Structure 1
Amino acid sequence: MKQKKENTWVSWNENLKYNYDKLYKIKSEEELREVIATNDKIRFFGSKQSSSDIAAGTDSLIDMTGYNKIVSYDDDEKTITVQSGLILGELLEAIEAVGWCIPCLPDINTITIGGALATGTHGTSGKLLCEYMTECTLVLADGSIKKITDKDELMDAVRVSLGMLGVMSTITFKCETEYTLHVKERPESDSEWLPKIKERLKTHDFLRILWLPHTDKGYVITGDKIDPNKEVIENMGPSYLKHRRTASKILYKYTHVFPWITAIANKLLYRGFFNSKKEHKGSLYQATVTKSRGSTLELAEWTIALDKFPQVFEELKTEINKWSNKSFIHIPMDVRFVQKDNSWLSYAYQQDTVTMGCVSRNAATADTYEAFKSVEKVFLKHGGRPHWGKRFEAKDAQLSKIYPKWEAFKELRRELDPTNKFLNPYLAKLVNEKSKMNARKVIA
């Protein structure tokens, strides 16, 4: 266990910087327990890829990335138990190697398991990743271990907790037999894809829509389970499609100075990179997951009940198409679908949900990106819920109105962490908890 002093913690996109005194790189559960028990304030981090300010801001920090072993497999139950610092991509490769899958995968595989669970990471056309967790061990504020199974009422509170109840140590996931998807991708006008959402959710095993603001177009991706031996004539589109990120970086370079350039850039990107049809097959992991981020960016994401989405979409579209404001949004806006669950802080708590992402490809200037404010305003108006690992301004007063179990969660948090050990300044404001903080944020 190594410890460093007088250093600076920096997030992946370099938007968040904090000075700290002690950094612990743990390798075992015993080390994790000891570090937590002997520090008054502490936070923990993995790949630092969250856009929200949840990972640092305390004098003591734990680097979880060395706590990354696969603990065991249960062939009869199709379960795998891992340490929480394991990178998601390594988990997915491990279960795929034995012919298994987790039916709902996020868009990125470079985050840690613990971070993915704490922030409610999800994919599309299934449940949140945390819903496939059947058991976990949680290190509490006093350093003790609490084992929780999916038979315990507490599990619904623990599945998504932003690391405010304790630190995830080991996690067991329930897997399914691996399957093959036949994936088709094509552009459609907004008037075509929007009315077909419910129908497509019933008829396809996988549905994702990349909406292209200022173009009146969406890029629809559907997937259907097929026999893995079935032949599919693959069409991956023109070879230049692989350069979309580079083209985006160039076209959006000065949009923070001249926001209206975004509308022109979006039209060019649509014609160049979203105007062709594609077709291929592969496992869920192979066929649908973006393996990493190509460059730093800033993200916001909001969710809304499936039945409300058409109305919210039209209102948002009208708002951002007004040239009187500066809400020109970089493409694409990722539209995905999450099935209802009972996890207290899940975006899909007791409702089938549509999620809509908003991206700024200029991470350094994201604080002046007006689109984040416009999207939040529209979604909050209709009871939308923010993604915990991404950007949003809502705090306790708004969150208590949109999460039915918000007050119950806060009460449980105080019970499990009476000294607010796991709160940093950002989280303290989020739950309206007055707590002495010594965060030393680095001002650029």
Structure 2
Amino acid sequence: MQHNDLIEELRWRGLIHQITDEPGLQKLLASGPQTVYIGFDPTATSLHVGSLMQLMMLRRFQLAGHRPIALVGGATGMIGDPTGKSEERNLLSAEQLQQNVAGIESQMRKFLSFEGENAAILLNNFDWMKGFSYLEFLRDVGKNFPVGTMLGKESVRARLGSEAGLSYTEFSYMLLQAYDFVYLAKQQGCLIQAGGSDQWGNITAGIDLSRRMLGKQVFGLTAPLLTTGDGKKMGKTERGAVWLDRQQTSPYAFYQYWINVSDEDVMRCIAYLTEIDRQEYDSLADATQSDPGRRAAQKRLAEWMTVFVHGDDGIRSALAASKILFGGEIEDVDDAGLNEIFADVPSQELPRDLLAGEGLWVVEALQQAGLAKSGGEARRSIKEGGVYLNNERLTDMDRRLGESDLASETVMVLRKGKRNYALLRFKTDG
């Protein structure tokens, strides 16, 4: 992709919400490689699905020949951005903040290239903010920032009018973020800041401060927020956020999130988050329109995203887990894997010594699992061929279950019918 094709690429993908001076930015991008930055709040040890919008924005700039700066807000994170928040965040400890910054930095290295002419740079704004005394900051930076500018921002007005109000600490956040743009323009020649549409007030504040302190024109670009058709933020489930860290959200759960995206949202997700080209995009859009039952777009989105975030081994494990849930063979899966696959399935814990000696009668096992209300019902289900142990059909109603029938270290998977699963967990006392 050429430098001057980037805006066109972003536009067809629906990734341009606002630009401060589009003709000026077009001219700047056409003049040669530029430096662009996006800030990331270190509020957790992992980035989440919502962060992918901004990571992909930096990646698109890099693929077009520009140099991306991923800025981790070690200083601003100590305060917390009040934008879009109804009340003040709890302040993070220095230790927690350091852990979060380290976790986020390691993840970013997976998505951006840190080699070559336009190698990405990871920076932490704490590195330049820690040297300021309070008086120095007020004298050198604060005097260039009109209070009227801050009060005019929608995010500030909304909080000032709310019951929670706005503390002086949070009020200062905009000034700190604005100074980041000044610092990066001066030290790194960075003339472009991008971010989500909720960051427009902070970005334009940085543009104004750069003009006052440096006499330079810098540019701002925002993308829409990643939301569902009804306006809710994407990347949330009943069990919480969808994280990029596989320890917090497994490849299987990550894959399932994307394959379950609605027809209304799927093409927007493909445009926003993937590098699937226009031709394939149009083909998937046609398939979704003509044969939505195939879910071709959802399958492609889930596959692309899982490979991108978790690699080839991630997609293999996700597909193997999906196959198990739909009746495939259960093999080479540990307790943690089965717990993830069957997270929403009812389970019962039984003493492990039930598997010793003669073992546990399968009819009793079905009753213990809640798949049969009586011994008679259990026997009928087995006779009719509707009972499965670890996804293999059971035909012998006199069968006794032992340790060799466990699917993993402690778990046995029982199923009645096509989708009625239950787990039995066999734990050793003590």
Instruction: Give the TM-score category using the shorter length.
Output: under 0.3
Structure in which a larger fraction of residues adopt strand: 1
Bigger relative contact order (CA 8 A; separation at least 6): 1
TM-score of the pair, normalised by structure 1 = 0.23
Instruction: State which structure, 1 or 2, has the greater radius of gyration over its C-alpha atoms.
Output: 2
TM-score of the pair, normalised by structure 2 = 0.23
Structure in which a larger fraction of residues adopt helix: 2
